[in-house]
């Protein structure tokens, strides 16, 4: 569910936004936010606060700014999907520069958000936090990037180990393949068997 209905196409006053260009410093910020997200899981206030921080890192400037951009003629999806485009690019750059765990963790965050979090959010919650359901193509691209990165890591490595569950690389790869429809060209072996994440958010 998005924040704004799209029954009637609105005239566009600007060109579609291009993907952001990120740096190593941006990846360091992304990793810190993923650490904070993992640490806050299982604590409602910390989880909600971190969602907003994740959105703001991706270009969210607050609900009023979002509404003003759209009222000024900006395509609503350009505005509301901006954070996901940033995180998609962060995953892509992480994979390209060998930060394979980070690419996998960005996917797991996205997967948790889609499967466990956004279903309990109202439109007002999405507007306040700055995160709505990612566009299908963006979600699948994050997952496809994770497939490539996770295939480079040891299968037994715990890539998610929080109050809400544990996931090793082999099972994270399986999830990413299911979301993306992409199969890894090489496959980790010797999974530790941790495949029950996010059970007590």
The total of other beta-carbon atoms located within 10 Å of residue 96's CB is: 12
Going by C-alpha positions, the residue among 44, 88, 83 that lies closest to residue 65 is 83
Judge residue 120's burial from the number of C-beta atoms within 10 Å of its C-beta, 0-12 exposed, 13-18 middle, 19 or more buried. Answer: exposed
Q: Is 33 or 191 the better-scoring residue by pLDDT? A: 33
Average pLDDT over residues 92-110: 98
According to the model, what pLDDT value does residue 164 have?
86
Is residue 15 pLDDT above 80, yes or no?
A: no
Please give the structure tokens belonging to residue 193.
């068997």
Average pLDDT, the chain: 88
Percent with pLDDT over 70 in the chain? 85
Is residue 180 pLDDT above 50, yes or no?
A: yes
Q: Is 107 or 69 the better-scoring residue by pLDDT? A: 107
Q: Which stretch of 28-32, 87-91, 159-163 has the lowest confidence by average pLDDT?
A: 159-163
Average pLDDT over residues 117-137: 95
Taking each helix axis from N to C terminus, what angle separates 169-180 and 100-112, rounded to the nearest 10 degrees? 60
């Amino acid at each position: 569910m998005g924040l704004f209905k799209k029954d009637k196409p609105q005239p566009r006053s600007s060109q579609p936004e291009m993907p952001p260009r990120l740096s190593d410093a941006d990846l360091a910020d992304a990793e810190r936010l993923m650490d904070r997200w993992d640490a806050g899981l299982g604590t409602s206030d910390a989880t909600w606060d971190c969602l907003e921080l994740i959105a703001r890192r991706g270009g969210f400037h607050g609900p009023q700014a979002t509404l003003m951009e759209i009222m000024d003629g900006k395509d609503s999806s350009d505005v509301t999907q901006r954070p996901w485009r940033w995180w998609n690019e962060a995953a892509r750059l992480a994979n390209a520069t060998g930060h394979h765990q980070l690419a996998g963790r960005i996917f797991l965050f996205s997967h948790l958000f889609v499967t466990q979090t956004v279903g309990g959010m109202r439109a007002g919650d999405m507007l306040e936090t700055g995160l709505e359901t990612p566009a299908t193509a963006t979600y699948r691209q994050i997952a496809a990037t994770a497939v490539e990165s996770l295939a480079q890591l040891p299968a037994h490595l715990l890539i998610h180990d929080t109050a809400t569950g544990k996931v090793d690389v082999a099972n994270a790869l399986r999830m990413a393949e299911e979301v993306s429809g992409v199969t890894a060209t090489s496959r980790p072996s010797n999974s530790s068997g941790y495949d029950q994440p996010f059970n007590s958010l």
